[in-house]
Amino acid sequence: MINATLFDFNGVLVDDEAVHLRAFREVLATRSISLTDAEYTDRYLGFDDFGAFAAILRDRGMPATDAIVRALIEEKVPVYMRAIATELRVFDGAAELVQRRAARGVVGIVSGALRHEIEHCLGVMKVRALVSFVVSAEDTRACKPDPEGYQLGIRKLGATACAIVVEDSVAGVVAAKAAGLRCIAITHSYPRAALLEAGADHVADTLADLTDEVMEGA
């Protein structure tokens, strides 16, 4: 019986992938690096900031040391936070879905976003008190599709928990399935076929489609 729900964050509850892309571009432009929409979606969406910056640099034959990548992350933080102060969009039904799932069990967040970004957005959504724990980029050594984040989530839930994951990216679906979890994917970022190919147990088009019957029967 499903008694816990693990949500990815960006692209599932908050619609901020475009904001992230603009922030990546602004920071990369200072190094004369361009990033197209297609590159971001096809190659880097689903990575945390460290994984994305490192992959972008390596793909262009540039050094990607920890110091260089962390400097880029530090530059991106204020760019992103300025943008979401006025541009944050929450997907329709996101707060209501968190509220409903919290009434039926434990809710956790497992995301490649930075903790302060997640905490800020949960506060805007007025659901922070309903979220039992957050696994963020700072908590893991490897980003999705590595299952480490979901494995940490499983440990926080405890041995008696049976969780369903809600994801929007191919990398996220792969990570959830590699951790042995059931996964519902939402077509906010990728088409249905790609999410099914990645291993999603069920694919929905909107958060409104995620009734408790769908969530617990997936």
The answer for residues whose C-beta is within 8 angstroms of residue 3's C-beta and 6 or more apart is: 104, 105, 106, 160, 161, 162, 163
Q: At residue 218, does pLDDT exceed 70?
A: no
Angle at 160 between CA 214 and CA 7, to 5 degrees: 45
Amino acid occupying residue 187: T
Entry pTM? 0.90
Give me the domains of the chain, ranges plus CATH numbers.
4-15+89-217 (3.40.50.1000), 17-87 (1.10.150.240)
Instruction: Establish how many alpha carbons lie within 13 A of residue 183's alpha carbon, considering only the half-sphere containing its beta carbon.
Output: 29
| Structure confidence by residue, pLDDT tens digits, 40-57 | 999 998 899 999 999 999
| Structure confidence by residue, pLDDT tens digits, 60-106 | 999 999 999 999 999 999 999 999 888 889 999 999 999 999 999 99
Amino acid occupying residue 177: K
The SS3 of residue 95 is helix
Query: Whose structure tokens read 């960006």?
Result: 10
How far from each other are the two terminal CA atoms of the chain, in whole angstroms?
11
For residue 217, name the pLDDT band (cuts at 50, 70, 90). Answer: confident
State residue 46's pLDDT score.
83
State residue 85's pLDDT score.
87
Q: What are 13's two structure tokens?
A: 């509850």
* Residue in 191, 189, 185 with CA at minimum distance from that of residue 207: 185
Per the CB < 8 A criterion, the answer to whether 212 and 99 are in contact is no
What angle do helix axes 66-87 and 115-125 make, rounded to 10 degrees? 10
Q: Of the ranges 25-34, 43-52, 139-148, 177-186, which one carries the lowest mean pLDDT score?
A: 43-52
Element (H, E) at 4: strand 4-7
CA 108 to chain centre: 12
* Alpha carbon distance 107, 104 (integer Å): 9
**Residue 83, Ramachandran bin (φ over 0: left; ψ between -120 and 50: alpha; else beta):** alpha
* Alpha carbon distance 138, 193 (integer Å): 31
DSSP state of 188: T
